[in-house]
Structure 1
């Protein structure tokens, strides 16, 4: 998934907390958020508005990314201590570091490959099937099939050499 496709997808699925998202969708959208934050930070009101606009799509894609690794989206609650950092003036560096520690598992999970088979959150997002479809009866066949077992049609697989 490309950068622009990811942004479009995340805004279209802004409230989808049930399915799965690929690593590329998640990380491209994370990059988009960083860029938006860098651009809007100098103007406080604009930064607040952009943060409000991005919060729901961000949480949704984070949950879908966790779903891709067969984990609950509720694990994102580990991010809440970071909010505490930003709301507390004068918090020490050591306390800031300690509060960020719970986020490390999230980052590791977001980096991991998703399950290649269906899990409780649905089908994989970027798994490429090696199966082919019979053009006559639309039955799914192994990529090595030469004939359809259902209708007997000869299979011409363009993936074969």
Structure 2
């Protein structure tokens, strides 16, 4: 199928495609098969699996044609080269093609940076529940970074939720059932946001597993890594989180 990317978030690695039949499909970064990052306005070819999930997204070849077409100067240069000496063709065309592709890559990079800056500007206005909802939406996304505010607001909400479930369980004589259910439901988002927080300081998300080892691991992860200021520039796990 062919379509156009209407929106893509680097932070959450999710986006929306509008197909030629005007149907909209959401997709995750794992379905993207190109080295170049997806961006709004791109024309793409994609497949739909049996569950109507987008898979195998590629840039539509027609979307790249303008970037690799030689300029009028290149056409004239190539014509003269053919008339004078056939061996000069590659010499005259290749530098122009490389320059054109480099210019296109620069445009895409600039657009991606602008999109990320707009995302950060929106997140600067987030309330506690906005951060919580972001974490819940990204419960199976273990890529990207999370600033301290995102992590600690989620942990605060998690603590409040656990306390409320304990109180309700005691009030209605349900024991710890509500608390255990809430803990299981929120466990995956909690692990995901912890991995994002570790990525923000350029640490592997696998360090979350230290929490399962000893109390020392809990102290290291919680009271050292999680309170540390994130990298202010792009690191191995993505662009800056604020």
Q: Which category describes the TM-score, using the shorter chain as reference length?
A: 0.5 to 0.7
Q: Distance in 1 between matches of 2:132 and 2:217?
A: 27
Structure 1 position 102 matched with structure 2 position 225: no
Q: CA deviation at 1:104?
A: 1.6
The structure where strand makes up a greater share of residues is: 2
Structure 1 position 6 matched with structure 2 position 138: no
Q: TM-score, normalised on structure 2?
A: 0.44
Structure 1 position 124 matched with structure 2 position 240: yes
Q: Which runs of 5+ in 1 are unaligned?
A: 82-98, 127-161
Structure 1 position 59 matched with structure 2 position 175: no
Check conservation: 1:2, 1:28, Cα contact below 8 A: no
1:29 matched to which residue of 2? 154
Q: Distance in 2 between matches of 1:29 and 1:102?
A: 20
Q: CA deviation at 1:105?
A: 1.5
Aligned length: 109
Q: In terms of Rg, which structure is larger?
A: 2
Q: Distance in 2 between matches of 1:50 and 1:8?
A: 15
Structure 1 position 76 matched with structure 2 position 175: no
Query: Deviation above 6 Å: which 4+ runs of structure 1?
Result: none
SS of the aligned residue for 1:75 comes to: helix
Q: Which runs of 5+ in 2 are unaligned?
A: 1-125, 170-175
